[in-house]
Amino acid sequence: MYEKWKDRLTIETFKDYSEAAEKTIHFLHQGNIALSGGSTYASLYPYWGKLKPDCSQVRFFPADERQVPMKDPASNWRMVYEKLLIATKRVSDVAHHASTPAAYKKILNSYFLGFLPVFDVIFLGMGEDGHTASLFPGGDYLDDDIETVLETDAPSPPVKRISLSPLVIHSAHQVVVVIAGEYKAWALKQVLEGNQEIPLTRVLQQRDKTLFFVQEDLWKTTGEK
């Protein structure tokens, strides 16, 4: 399975979130960095915080968000604020929250001067259906090569989502995908096989290099060595 991607994917494994944090912490030292929501990152962020990285030269932005106010417990950026921004002394980045696609596009335009947002690092995860950021299976936006911020519909509430577009993900200097949970084995196999119905496959296929960090127990279920 991995043969299809061998020249474009670098895969490392980790035993637990503590090890995952240690293996990825060096990506947090400088530049514009987009952070994902989801259970994997909710578990990883506190470990990053404990390592006390120097983020004085970093600006954090959402990779995706639910269309809810910051005070709503369902907000991804509220979770990032509570679990990472406080610990890394980047509280000012809470201002990068947006509850509509138009509002987030305005924020990005203000930092990137209206040009295509090119992030130094985008951290992505993967759901059990193969979605990444808030790009879900079946969305016609997976072929969008114009927009930078998209409105998408999730299969579960809150339904209305905001996501960086495939174009922005393709353009990032570095994309780091962290995947954990044995229940994601099916989706991971589909990505490694190049299944075009899987959003993570589609958004990565135009990139020259991507880094995967996969939990050991999950990697073993794929049959890869």
Going by the DSSP 8-state scheme, the letter that residue 147 receives in this structure is: -
What are the beta bridge partners of residue 63? Answer: none
Phi/psi at 148 (nearest 5 deg)? -105, -30
pLDDT digits (tens, 9 = 90+) for 74-130: 999 999 999 999 999 999 999 999 999 999 999 999 999 989 999 999 999 999 999
Residue 9 CB neighbour total at 10 angstroms:
17
Q: Work out the pLDDT band at 7, boundaries 50, 70, 90.
A: confident
**Where do the domains of the chain lie, and which CATH numbers do they carry?**
2-215 (3.40.50.1360)
Q: How far apart are CA 14 and CA 43, in angstroms?
A: 14
pLDDT digits (tens, 9 = 90+) for 210-220: 999 999 999 99
Residue 107 CB neighbour total at 10 angstroms:
17
Segment 2-26 mean pLDDT: 91
Q: How far apart are CA 144 and CA 160, in angstroms?
A: 18
**Residue listed under structure tokens 């780091």:** 176
Q: How far apart are CA 19 and CA 102, in angstroms?
A: 37
Question: What are the start-end ranges of the H helices in the chain?
Answer: 17-24, 39-50, 76-80, 101-112, 166-171, 185-192, 199-204, 216-221
pLDDT over 70 (residue 224): no
pLDDT over 80 (residue 134): yes
Segment 136-142 mean pLDDT: 90
pLDDT over 90 (residue 3): no
pLDDT digits (tens, 9 = 90+) for 177-203: 999 999 999 999 999 999 999 999 999
Q: What is the pLDDT of residue 188?
A: 95
pLDDT over 60 (residue 1): no
CB 207 within 8 A of CB 121: no
What mean pLDDT value characterizes the chain?
94
pLDDT digits (tens, 9 = 90+) for 22-53: 999 999 999 999 999 999 999 999 999 999 99
What is the share, in percent, of the chain residues with pLDDT greater than 70?
97
Burial degree of 36 (CB within 10 A; 0-12, 13-18, 19+): buried
Amino acid at 61: F
CB 45 within 8 A of CB 39: no
pLDDT digits (tens, 9 = 90+) for 68-89: 999 999 999 999 999 999 999 9
Burial degree of 140 (CB within 10 A; 0-12, 13-18, 19+): exposed
Q: Work out the pLDDT band at 221, boundaries 50, 70, 90.
A: confident
Phi/psi at 43 (nearest 5 deg)? -80, -35
Nearest C-alpha neighbor of 162 from the set 217, 200, 111, 107: 107
What is the share, in percent, of the chain residues with pLDDT greater than 90?
88
Q: What is the pLDDT of residue 223?
A: 60
pLDDT over 60 (residue 156): yes
CA dihedral over 102, 125, 127, 71, signed as positive or negative: negative
Q: How far apart are CA 219 and CA 221, in angstroms?
A: 5
